[in-house]
């Protein structure tokens, strides 16, 4: 149970997945270098 809390809540993996899904819907390739940069920028603004 603690690993779930540590990874998902404290590590904010849920936010990373949600933003990745949103960028994929918008047509941005999240596997490339540009997609990684956009994901990082969006996460840092939230």
| Domain containing residue 30 | 2-45
pLDDT, one tens digit per residue, over 3-36 is 877 766 777 777 878 888 888 898 878 777 766 6
**How would you class 33 by CB atoms within 10 Å of its CB: exposed for 0-12, middle for 13-18, buried for 19 or more?**
exposed
Q: What is the pTM of this model?
A: 0.56
Of residues 43 and 33, more confidently modeled: 33
**In this predicted structure, what is the pLDDT of residue 15?**
80
Higher pLDDT, 1 or 43: 1
Distance CA 3, CA 21 (A): 23
User: Quick one: pLDDT at residue 43?
Assistant: 63
**What's the structural domain count of the chain?**
1
Question: Which pLDDT score is estimated for 40?
Answer: 63
Nearest to 40 by CA among 10, 11, 24, 20: 20
Residue 39 CB coordination number (10 Å):
18
């Amino acid at each position: 149970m603690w690993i779930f809390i540590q990874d998902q809540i404290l590590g904010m993996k849920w936010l990373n997945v949600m933003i990745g899904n949103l960028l994929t819907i918008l047509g941005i390739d999240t596997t490339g270098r540009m997609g990684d940069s956009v994901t990082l920028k969006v996460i840092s603004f939230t």
